Amino acid sequence: MNKYDCMIIGGGPAGLSAALTLGRARRKVVLFDNGTNRNRVTQESHGFLTRDGIKPQEFKNIARKDIKSYPSISIMDQTVIEITKDDKSGLFLVYTSENNSYVSEKILLATGIQEEFALPQIRQYYGKSLFSCPYCDGWELRDKPLAILAENEEHISHMTKLVFNWSQDLIVFTNGHQLSEKVQNDFEHKKIKVYTDAIKDLHGDDGNLYSLELETGEDILRTGGFVVPSFYRPNKFAKQLNCQVDENGTIKTDGAGRTTAAGLYVAGETEKGGPSSLMIAAAEGFKAASSINMDITIDRF
């Protein structure tokens, strides 16, 4: 069985950046990517210098092409289902759903996170007319009649104030949750209407939102908006490999990708369990790869 210097789980910007960095450091690397990256539903990715407006799949294709210049990097379009560590040798064993297994000295977890929505209907519009990041998609929705969909008051207040920078034609929908008098007054002062009634359905066509229907029967016209999903890690690898996690769900690291479990590193959204930009995730992938390369260098010198 071939042994790798590092196995990278996840083929998003963090994993791809780490693979490139390690390949250039002449490390034998394999990257696993099952194509479930969170931004796959997005039409365009924004905020990454030289690639503003690029489709996420095109971004990945370009990154993969860059990586193929380095013969020590392999890419496997497989789903990792289990990671174990041999306490005696200190090596990691990775098993995939395709019944393959691999051995490595180091592991980088870059599997990211996934969204959950209070309203399942949001999924039909997510990435086309409903979004979660104003920095990524606010410019395209500027000055349009927008909806803010969230249920937690803190999230509602934060998102509404932020989006107000791009469009002042806002209506807040809390889906049956009440707001404090202070927040209500803040919104009223800015002429932002609030509906606290439960949402019955969303209406639109081919991912383009037209209106939100309340349980009261009222139909409110909106052409897009922003939502606040809850996020979760799509696997339990960090927990199973005994990484320490703080009270906020963030995996504890040294600030450079090293976890509390020897030989195990994290990068990108995996670490915080929350959303990040392409550029930040890629930078964190580089940082973690630098740590991995230095640790291998010291181990072998």
Domains recognised in the chain with CATH numbers: 3-113+233-300 (3.50.50.60), 116-227 (3.50.50.60)
User: pLDDT tens-digit profile of 65-87?
Assistant: 999 999 999 999 999 999 999 99
Kindly report the backbone phi and psi dihedral angles of residue 212, in degrees, each rounded to the nearest multiple of 5, phi listed first: -120, 125
- How much is the CA Rg of the chain, to the nearest whole Å? 22
pLDDT band at 1; cut points 50, 70, 90:
low
CA 55 from centre of chain: 16
For the chain, what is the HEC assignment? CCEEEEEEECCCHHHHHHHHHHHHCCCCEEEECCCCCHHHHCCCECCCCCCCCECHHHHHHHHHHHHCCCCCEEEECCCEEEEEECCCCCCEEEEECCCCEEEEEEEEECCCCEEECCCHHHHHCECCCEECCHHHHCHHHCCCCEEEECCCHHHHHHHHHHHCCCCCCEEEECCCCCCCHHHHHHHHHCCCEEECCCEEEEEEECCEEEEEEECCCCEEECCEEEECCEEECCCCHHHHCCCCECCCCCECECCCCEECCCCEEECCHHHHCCCCCHHHHHHHHHHHHHHHHHHHHHHHC
Question: Does the pLDDT value for residue 282 go beyond 80?
Answer: yes
Share of the chain above pLDDT 70, in %: 100
User: pLDDT tens-digit profile of 89-106?
Assistant: 999 999 999 999 999 999
pLDDT band at 17; cut points 50, 70, 90:
very high
Taking the CA atoms of residue 89, residue 92, residue 95 and residue 101 in that order, the dihedral angle to the nearest 10 degrees is -60
User: pLDDT tens-digit profile of 29-70?
Assistant: 999 999 998 988 888 999 999 999 999 999 999 999 999 999
Calpha distance 269→274 (Å, rounded): 6
Q: Please give the average per-residue pLDDT across 2-17, as a whole number.
A: 96
Token pair of 140 as six digits: 């395209």
